[in-house]
A and B are shown apart, each in its own frame.
Chain A
């Protein structure tokens, strides 16, 4: 059994706004799309900060909001938007059969506590063990531990929105989002399930993440530029973002009178060893399996290139191989919404679905020549995801 997969719900919350209309309008702004940036708060590292949002709209209980850190609020909000756009909100019967896969990183730490303890340890005057025990025991907040567990975004979504079918949390940076999509789509296509909620979230305003990714030389330092123009100073600008999709069996959707917004035709992922040319070759291997699904004509590429190296160069190598055979129009969304790690692949599928549903495409986000204006209408969208350290993934989105 191999069934089609429809996208019947989209929830997007980012620096550009909330919902499909905000994102479409910002990214197709006649004056040219521009990112919203915060270049001071974490200087010298620019971030794409979250738009102003009234969390009460999707997380009505203040008590629930208090139990969450920002990444969980962002994700729970976006998940609520997706369920609402799919017409699933509040329908206990459907929520009981909604199967959730969340892509998550580590939860947020109390940076002030971390910094104070690390400073005290660094002076070397105190014996680390007993001191650590004392300070951690006194300074850590029990509720924060729960905000910190990777699976507690999924847990919060269950509590706030009533999703009960199943709940799995994938980890592993960018790959986790791509594998969440691939796995949910495979479960739907095979008939294991009829209804899925998939997504992730990121809070860019996090020093702990900057420390981690900075250690790997992955963070953008200095002035913000589009991702293709960061050659001399590579790195990604973290983006606050929540992206969730409701994926559904078409017959199931029709049966309940729900409309499809776009079709997720196929999704693949793999993990090369990242030797010279290997990541591009792995992506090409995956792309070759898309042949039966591709129409002749241009392909819009919603690229996950982040501006960090070596992943961005690896992706360019793949895009060059692709361009030799197909008429492709690349849009690296990282220039506009930043890099949301686990959530990026899902966000890019959402942006592909938004364009598809509106029968349009985005203008170039970059003037370096890599992103050309489309010369003909785009009806098929290739989403790419090259992880900062590992993992290559592709997905194809079209109209219904």
Chain B
């Protein structure tokens, strides 16, 4: 940061997506332009408008979405903490966890409904009574449970923060962690975004909002951010974890610095629950704030890791925002969307994409936007179409995250301290 706030660096990263576990596998498959999207097999999809997703099925089945969300977070955090060189079970700082609000699921509701005296005719009151005292139907659905389990497993300190800013949650977790470190509350913090919530109900709910792609026939070609004919996002699962640390602390303990959280900006939109103000003011202000908080100018930014959901509206608004912030340079500034390959990992997206942004800086290769078959004349951007692109001298990457409820967060990730 440009002011007197301490510089925050990243010393450990972990990532789990539908492409696999770990930085190595994910990076290899991302720069090969592979897709993790496939037909849903977790539940019957008969009668659904969308039947594809980026689910994570290679970890076996989980009784509740909360359990998968926790396991994904744990796997990502193990990789991140391992890389940071901190001894296991002894993490010397707080946890900031972006999670979906996971409620009591239908399996559980059905179990409850079967315990009433005359199944099939129960009143709501009878169901409430039938649930009473079943602790296994309580603990998994408290919003604080996953964070407590992770805090205890990794030995993190203090009261963990579970948070939601919808599809910007992962970025918000990083931002909250960085702010806490800048205030001097700890020397290290663990920021995780995790989402394992592809269920019948969540899919149907997004579907009812017409937010999802219905290109079910060719799952791997369904997510097509910025392209003409994009028709919605693909729900997906995954987790990203980052060990954040003050620069001084990282240097003092001789840690390898993987990158820098050089800036962040946030603005709430006041326009509508699901749509941005057509003037893009909040998106633009968030991007400007992240650049200025890093003490940089728009010309310093070499690449954008887009929010790029593949909905008609989001991609158009992101383009509008970029054009306002980067002016004439917007058309030639490379921008690509990881979601073309791994889908939209919702609460995890901001954290996963921050990890990928740091891998981009490390490897000096821009991951592509795949499925870019036809350009949209309304979006004249260099989206790194279809094929990864080696670059030289890339120093600063912007990672955008936008969410329902007027949430807009823009992170700046850098190779070296500014």
Closest to A107 in B: B101
Contact of B326 with A by CB under 8 A: no
Contact of A229 with B by CB under 8 A: no
Closest to A269 in B: B159
Are A151 and B143 also in contact (CB < 8 A) when A109-B103, A142-B209 are?
no
Partner of A150, one of B148, B164, B172: B164
Contact of B29 with A by CB under 8 A: no
Task: Tell me the smallest distance from the CB of A155 to a CB of chain B, in Å.
Answer: 3
Specify which chain A residues have a CB less than 8 angstroms from the CB of B127 in the assembled complex. Answer: 115, 118, 207, 211
For the complex of A and B, list the 4 residue pairs with the smallest distance between their C-beta atoms, beginning with the closest: A155-B405, A129-B44, A172-B144, A216-B138
Specify which chain A residues have a CB less than 8 angstroms from the CB of B143 in the assembled complex. Answer: 105-106, 150, 171-173, 176
**Complex: how many Å from CA A105 to CA B282?**
26
Task: Tell me the smallest distance from the CB of A189 to a CB of chain B, in Å.
Answer: 8
Are A140 and B405 also in contact (CB < 8 A) when A162-B270, A215-B134 are?
no
16 CB-based A-B contacts, threshold 8 Å: A115-B124, A118-B122, A118-B127, A119-B113, A122-B113, A128-B106, A136-B201, A137-B208, A150-B143, A159-B273, A165-B267, A168-B176, A169-B163, A217-B133, A271-B158, A387-B144
Are the CB atoms of B403 and A271 closer together than 8 Å?
Answer: no
Specify which chain A residues have a CB less than 8 angstroms from the CB of B271 in the assembled complex. Answer: 159
**B114-146 with Cβ < 8 A to chain A:** 114, 116, 119-125, 127-129, 131-135, 137-139, 141-145
**Complex: how many Å from CA A105 to CA B109?**
19
Are the CB atoms of B128 and A214 closer together than 8 Å?
Answer: yes
**Complex: how many Å from CA A133 to CA B267?**
37
Tell me which of A42, A109, A212, A393 has the highest count of chain B C-beta atoms within 10 A of its own C-beta: A212
Partner of B164, one of A112, A136, A151, A393: A151
Segment with Cβ contacts to A, from B45-53, B360-368, B373-381, B384-392: B45-53
Interface flags for B67-84 (1: CB within 8 Å of A; 0: not) read 000000000000000000
**A257-310 with Cβ < 8 A to chain B:** 269-271, 273
Are the CB atoms of A167 and B268 closer together than 8 Å?
Answer: yes
Closest to B202 in A: A145
Contact of B416 with A by CB under 8 A: no
Segment with Cβ contacts to B, from A179-187, A329-337, A365-373: A179-187
Closest to B269 in A: A158
Known: A155-B407, A391-B159. 8 other contacts (CB 8 A): A118-B127, A129-B46, A132-B43, A151-B404, A158-B270, A159-B271, A173-B144, A211-B112
Contact of B185 with A by CB under 8 A: yes
**Complex: how many Å from CA A155 to CA B158?**
28
Contact of B32 with A by CB under 8 A: no
**Complex: how many Å from CA A106 to CA B104?**
10
Binding site for B on A (CB under 8 A): 42-43, 45, 67, 100, 104-107, 109, 111-112, 114-115, 117-124, 127-130, 132-134, 136-137, 140-142, 145-146, 148-152, 154-156, 158-159, 162-173, 175-176, 178-179, 182-183, 186-187, 190, 192, 207-208, 210-219, 269-271, 273, 387, 389-391, 393
Partner of A187, one of B112, B119, B179, B270: B179
Contact of B189 with A by CB under 8 A: no
Are the CB atoms of B159 and A270 closer together than 8 Å?
Answer: yes
Are the CB atoms of B159 and A164 closer together than 8 Å?
Answer: no
Contact of B16 with A by CB under 8 A: no
**Complex: how many Å from CA A334 to CA B47?**
47
Contact of B399 with A by CB under 8 A: no
Are A169 and B164 also in contact (CB < 8 A) when A192-B183, A271-B148 are?
yes
Specify which chain A residues have a CB less than 8 angstroms from the CB of B47 in the assembled complex. Answer: 130, 133-134, 137
Closest to A210 in B: B128
Are the CB atoms of B46 and A115 closer together than 8 Å?
Answer: no
Partner of B268, one of A109, A164, A271: A164
Partner of B208, one of A42, A145, A166: A145
Are the CB atoms of A211 and B128 closer together than 8 Å?
Answer: yes
Are A115 and B122 also in contact (CB < 8 A) when A133-B204, A158-B269, A217-B132 are?
yes
Binding site for A on B (CB under 8 A): 43-48, 99, 101, 103-104, 106, 109-110, 112-114, 116, 119-125, 127-129, 131-135, 137-139, 141-145, 147-148, 151-152, 158-166, 172, 176, 179-180, 182-185, 200-201, 204-209, 266-274, 282, 403-407
Specify which chain B residues have a CB less than 8 angstroms from the CB of A117 in the assembled complex. Answer: 106, 109
Task: Tell me the smallest distance from the CB of B153 to a CB of chain A, in Å.
Answer: 12
Are the CB atoms of B405 and A154 closer together than 8 Å?
Answer: yes
Partner of A178, one of B159, B162, B184: B159
Specify which chain A residues have a CB less than 8 angstroms from the CB of B272 in the assembled complex. Answer: 159
Specify which chain A residues have a CB less than 8 angstroms from the CB of B152 in the assembled complex. Answer: 273
**Complex: how many Å from CA A207 to CA B148?**
26
Are the CB atoms of A146 and B176 closer together than 8 Å?
Answer: no
Are the CB atoms of A215 and B138 closer together than 8 Å?
Answer: yes
Partner of A151, one of B119, B124, B403: B403
Are the CB atoms of B183 and A215 closer together than 8 Å?
Answer: no
Are the CB atoms of B159 and A106 closer together than 8 Å?
Answer: no
Closest to A100 in B: B268
**Complex: how many Å from CA A218 to CA B99?**
24
**Complex: how many Å from CA A145 to CA B204?**
10
Are A164 and B122 also in contact (CB < 8 A) when A130-B46, A271-B160 are?
no
Specify which chain B residues have a CB less than 8 angstroms from the CB of A273 in the assembled complex. Answer: 152
Are the CB atoms of B159 and A211 closer together than 8 Å?
Answer: no
Task: Tell me the smallest distance from the CB of B395 to a CB of chain A, in Å.
Answer: 26
**Complex: how many Å from CA A267 to CA B417?**
33
Closest to B98 in A: A171
Closest to B166 in A: A151
Are A111 and B124 also in contact (CB < 8 A) when A121-B113, A389-B144 are?
yes
Are the CB atoms of B270 and A215 closer together than 8 Å?
Answer: no
Specify which chain A residues have a CB less than 8 angstroms from the CB of B179 in the assembled complex. Answer: 187, 192
Closest to A141 in B: B208
Closest to B146 in A: A172
**Complex: how many Å from CA A114 to CA B201?**
11
Are the CB atoms of A170 and B183 closer together than 8 Å?
Answer: no
**Complex: how many Å from CA A100 to CA B119?**
45
**Complex: how many Å from CA A378 to CA B39?**
65
**Complex: how many Å from CA A128 to CA B105?**
13
Are A137 and B139 also in contact (CB < 8 A) when A122-B119, A149-B166, A186-B185 are?
no
Partner of A171, one of B99, B133, B268, B270: B99
